[in-house]
Amino acid sequence: MTETNTNEMASESSTLPARTIPLDRLEMRRLVQLDACTRCGECLKWCPVYDQDSRENILPRQKILDFLRIVRSQQSILNTIIENKLAPELAKKWIRKIFRLQEISEDEVRLFALNLYECSTCGQCQVVCPANIDTVNLWENIRELMVSSGYGPLEPQKALAKSVKSYDNPWQQPRQGRVKWARRAKKENLISDLPPDVRKTSAKILLFLGCTAVYDSNIRQIAIDTVNMLKILGIDYGCLGENEKCCGSVLLRMGDPEYERIASDNIKLLNSLSIETLVTSCSGCFKTIKQDYPQVGKLKFEVLHTVEFLHRLIEQRKLKFDVPVEKVITYHDPCHLGRASGVFDEPRAVIRAIPGLELVEMPRHGPYSRCCGAGGGVKAGFPDLQNRMAQARIKEAEQTGAQELVSACPFCYAGLQVGIGALNSPLVMRDMTHLVISALKKGE
C-alpha cells in the first residue's frame, strides 16, 4: 500500500459495519461485465500501476471479485432481514454462519475504495482483456457508487474535486486567472495578439484551451504554441477566455456525479455558439467532450484534437512544412487520445510530414502505450506512485536514444516532466504543437 493513504486508513480504522453501496446507479451492462471476468490474469502483465505496486488487490480481476463480495453480502435478501432486525440476535448469528454471510466492515470498503482509486483509468486492461470488459467505464461507474455512499474520492483528491466545483478549474485558481497566461505572453511578445473572443467574431472554430495549459505556468507553452500555430496557418478561430470552464473530466474519472451538471452547462454554452468545430490540444478535454458529453446531451459541432485538425489540413494539402526539424524524437500516446479515442495514426502522420524529424517508437506504443500515471486522480491521490510510473515511461523513452519526448496532452506533459525531473533525464519534453511551430517558423 502506498504513502499517505496507508496512514489515513490506519488512523480511521473501523470494524463497524459499512454503509451499503447503492447499486441503483450501476448500469445493467456493468453487471454483465462484472460476471464476464474469467480471472485469466492477462491484465496483470500490462497494468502500469501493478508494475509499481505489486499488490494483487489493485488488479482488475481482484477489484471485480472484491466488489462482488461486498455487494453480494450487503445486498443479500438474508442480510436485509438481518439488518432490518426481523430476526432475534442469536438467529442473525446463525443465519450468517449457515449462509456464510460476511458482515462487511468500514475498513474493508475503505480498503476497496483505496484499491479502486489506485488506478489511472488508462484503459490498458481493457485493450488486453480477452473477455473485452469495458474496464474504464466499469471503474468510473463503481467510483460513482463509492462517492454516493461516502467512500470516494480519497481524502487527497477532495481538494481537486472541490476546486472544479467552486472555481471551474482543478487548480484552485480564480476564474479571472484563466486569461492571465495570454496577457503575460503578449507582454513578453510570445504571442502577437490576445486570442479573439469567439462570441465577437464569425469564427466557426472554437479553440478550447483546457485548464492545465492556461493555469500551469510550466505548461503554458502548449497554449502559446497552439495560438501561434493557428495564427501562422491563418485559421479564423476564437476562444471563450474567462468564460471557458473545466470540462469536468477529473470529476467524471473520480466518480463525482457533479460532472453531469458541469457537462450539461458546458454543452448548453458550447451549443449556443455558432461554431462548427471545437479544437483542443488537451487529450483529456478531447475525450471528455467528444465521447462523454454526448451521453449527457447532443453536441451541435464536431470535436477534433489538434493533431486531427493538423492531419486534416495536411490531407487537404492546405498544410506543408518547409522548415526541417533535425531531431530524433519518440512519441508518447496519451491514454485519452490513443487507447480511449483510437487516434494513433494522425500524430504520427503529422510527425512524418515534418522534414528532418526522425521518430523512434518505444516498444510500448499505440494501444500498448505505458501510462504516465497523471490521470484518473492518481497524481492527486498517489503522487509517489505517479512519480514512479512516469519514471518507468521516461526510462523506456531514454532507451530509444531520442533527444525529445513528444506527446499531445498538457496532462501527460506535466506527468512525464515529473519523471524527467526525478531521473534527471537529458530528455526534453515537448508537445506536438511545439514541433509544428518549429516546422513553421525559422529559428525555433
Q: Which parts of this chain interact with ligand SF4 (CB under 6 A)? A: 37-43, 47-49, 60-61, 119-125, 129-131, 133, 135-136
Q: What is the DSSP string of 29-46?
A: HHHHHHHH-----HHHHH
HSE toward the beta carbon, residue 225, CA cutoff 13 A: 25
The strand pair at 302-305 and 357-359 is best described as: unpaired
The kind and range of the H/E element at 407 are strand 404-407
In what side-by-side order are the strands of the sheet with 237-238?
237-238, 205-208, 277-280, 302-305
**Residue 240, helix vs strand vs coil:** coil
Q: Minimum distance between the CB of residue 377 and ligand SF4, rounded to whole angstroms? A: 11
Count of CB atoms situated within 10 Å of the CB of 406: 24
Nearer to ligand SF4, 246 or 340 (CB): 340
Nearer to ligand SF4, 241 or 381 (CB): 381
Q: Minimum distance between the CB of residue 119 and ligand SF4, rounded to whole angstroms? A: 3
Residues whose CB falls within 8 Å of the CB of residue 381, separated by 6 or more in sequence, listed in order: 5, 117, 118, 153, 154, 156, 157
Nearer to ligand SF4, 41 or 294 (CB): 41
Place of cell 487527497: 156
Nearer to ligand SF4, 42 or 106 (CB): 42
Q: Minimum distance between the CB of residue 372 and ligand SF4, rounded to whole angstroms? A: 11
* Whether 121 contacts 140, CB under 8 Å: yes
Q: Minimum distance between the CB of residue 373 and ligand SF4, rounded to whole angstroms? A: 8
Q: Minimum distance between the CB of residue 27 and ligand SF4, rounded to whole angstroms? A: 17
Q: Minimum distance between the CB of residue 92 and ligand SF4, rounded to whole angstroms? A: 35
Closest Cα to residue 377, out of 114, 111, 109? Answer: 114
- φ/ψ of residue 358, rounded to 5: -115, 125
Q: Minimum distance between the CB of residue 161 and ligand SF4, rounded to whole angstroms? A: 19
Q: Minimum distance between the CB of residue 101 and ligand SF4, rounded to whole angstroms? A: 25
Nine-digit cell at 126? Answer: 481493457
In what side-by-side order are the strands of the sheet with 404-407?
357-359, 327-331, 404-407, 428-431
Rounded to whole angstroms, how far apart are CA atoms 285 and 210?
A: 7
* Whether 301 contacts 277, CB under 8 Å: yes
Q: Minimum distance between the CB of residue 381 and ligand SF4, rounded to whole angstroms? A: 12
Place of cell 518505444: 362
Nearer to ligand SF4, 138 or 209 (CB): 138
Which amino acid does the sequence have at 320?
A: K
Nearer to ligand SF4, 65 or 323 (CB): 65
Nearer to ligand SF4, 241 or 284 (CB): 284
Nearer to ligand SF4, 121 or 221 (CB): 121
**Residue 420, helix vs strand vs coil:** helix
Q: Minimum distance between the CB of residue 63 and ligand SF4, rounded to whole angstroms? A: 7
Q: What is the DSSP string of 164-202?
A: HHHHSSTT---GGGGGHHHHHHHHTTSSSSPPPBGGGS-
Nearer to ligand SF4, 340 or 394 (CB): 340
Nearer to ligand SF4, 62 or 169 (CB): 62
Cross-strand partners of 359? 329
Can you give the length of the chain in residues? Answer: 444
Q: Minimum distance between the CB of residue 338 and ligand SF4, rounded to whole angstroms? A: 13
- φ/ψ of residue 428, rounded to 5: -105, 130
Nearer to ligand SF4, 125 or 147 (CB): 125
